[in-house]
């Protein structure tokens, strides 16, 4: 199993449960088969050291956020066909999440802002937080 040469900053498991995605400071994104523990894919981020990632509910789109404040989306599991790249924040993106039904994207980071992205529209910005926004996930609320 090829390992990362520097710190791993973020992990995700595909929704079908058979792959682990690891990314980090070495700028590499690596995909491992959880059954045999072998690396099956690997590629270098073109936007910098990866600090966060999210995968779509159907395991077809991977979005990575970086310490440079940029995020990019790419088809998964290819990792080669880049879909979109955006300058998201003025500092590192600490967390990124994708809505399971709509595919809308939310990211947050060191610049104390949360940005909500929908297609090609300009993001909605939720600013004014007292400090950096740290990792979180969008979850469906259970009905009581």
Output the pTM of the full model. 0.80
CB-based burial of residue 17 (10 Å sphere; 0-12 exposed, 13-18 middle, 19+ buried)? exposed
What are 60-83's pLDDT values in tens digits?
889 999 999 988 888 887 555 566
Q: What tens digit of pLDDT does each residue of 19-59 get?
A: 999 998 899 999 999 999 999 988 888 888 999 999 988 88
Q: Where are the alpha helices (DSSP H) in the chain?
A: none
Asked if residue 142 has pLDDT above 50, the reply is: no
8-126 — its CATH code? Answer: 2.130.10.10
Q: Establish whether the linkage from the previous residue to 18 is cis, with ω within 30° of 0.
A: no
Domain parsing of the chain, residue ranges:
8-126
Tokens of 4: 């990362």
């Amino acid at each position: 199993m090829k390992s990362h040469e520097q710190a791993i900053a973020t992990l995700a498991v595909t929704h079908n449960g058979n792959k682990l995605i690891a990314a980090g400071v070495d700028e590499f994104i690596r995909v491992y088969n959880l059954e045999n523990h072998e690396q099956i894919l690997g590629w270098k981020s073109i936007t910098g050291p990866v600090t966060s990632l999210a995968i779509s509910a159907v395991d077809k789109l991977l979005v990575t956020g970086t310490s440079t404040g940029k995020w990019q989306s790419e088809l998964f599991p290819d990792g080669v066909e880049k879909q979109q790249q955006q300058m998201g924040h003025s500092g590192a993106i600490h967390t990124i999440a994708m809505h399971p039904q709509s595919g809308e994207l939310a990211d947050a980071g060191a610049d104390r802002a949360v940005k909500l992205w929908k297609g090609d529209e300009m993001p909605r910005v939720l600013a004014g937080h007292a400090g950096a926004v740290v990792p979180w996930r969008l979850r469906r609320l259970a009905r009581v």
